C-alpha cells in the first residue's frame, strides 16, 4: 500500500472514530426512515423535552439531515440526567412541505432515560398514515 493510502485510511478512521465518539458522548439520537419510499427522511423537525412534574420542559430542537438523522439531540455540554423524556417528531410540517397529507401531525415518543452512561437511539419508521418506533442502537 502506498504511503498516501495509509494516511488517507488513518484520516478516515480518525474521522469516523471522532464522529462515533461525539455520538457516544451525546446520549440521544434519532433517525427517520420513510416506509413509502424506503429512503431516509431529511427535513423533519424534532423536539426533545424532559418531564418536570406535570409539565414538559423543552431541551432542544433540531432537523434531520440528508441521512434522516440527528446524531446528537441532547443539549451539548449538559450532563445527561435520568428521567422521563419525550421526542416529538413534527411530521405534519414535514408532509406539508412535501405537499402530502398526513394523519399524524406530530408523533410524540415518550421514554425513560434510566442510565446516563448509555446511548438512546430512537428510530421512526414513517408513512403518511402510520408509524413505528423502537429503541435502536
Q: Is 91 helix (H, G, I), strand (E, B) or coil?
A: helix
Does the annotation place 31 within a ligand binding site? Answer: yes
Does the annotation place 85 within a ligand binding site? Answer: no
| Cell output for 122 | 430512537
Q: Say how far apart CA 61 and CA 63 lie, in whole Å.
A: 7
Burial of residue 134, with CB atoms counted within 10 A of its CB: 0-12 exposed, 13-18 middle, 19 or more buried? exposed
DSSP H or E run through 40: none
| Length of the chain (residues) | 137
Q: Say how far apart CA 23 and CA 10 lie, in whole Å.
A: 20
Does the annotation place 69 within a ligand binding site? Answer: yes
| Cell output for 20 | 462515533
Known binding-site positions for substrate:
31, 69, 134
Known binding-site positions:
31, 69, 134
Amino acid at each position: 500500500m502506498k504511503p498516501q493510502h495509509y494516511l488517507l485510511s488513518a484520516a478516515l478512521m480518525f474521522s469516523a472514530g471522532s464522529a462515533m465518539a461525539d455520538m457516544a458522548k451525546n446520549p440521544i439520537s434519532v433517525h427517520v426512515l420513510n416506509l413509502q419510499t424506503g429512503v431516509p427522511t431529511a427535513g423533519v423537525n424534532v423536539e426533545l423535552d424532559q418531564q418536570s412534574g406535570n409539565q414538559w420542559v423543552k431541551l432542544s430542537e433540531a432537523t434531520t439531515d440528508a441521512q434522516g438523522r440527528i446524531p446528537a439531540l441532547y443539549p451539548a455540554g449538559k450532563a445527561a440526567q435520568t428521567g422521563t423524556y419525550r421526542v416529538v417528531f413534527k411530521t405534519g410540517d414535514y408532509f406539508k412541505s412535501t405537499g402530502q397529507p398526513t394523519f399524524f401531525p406530530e408523533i410524540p415518543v415518550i421514554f425513560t432515560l434510566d442510565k446516563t452512561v448509555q446511548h438512546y437511539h430512537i428510530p421512526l419508521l414513517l408513512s403518511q398514515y402510520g408509524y413505528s418506533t423502537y429503541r435502536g442502537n
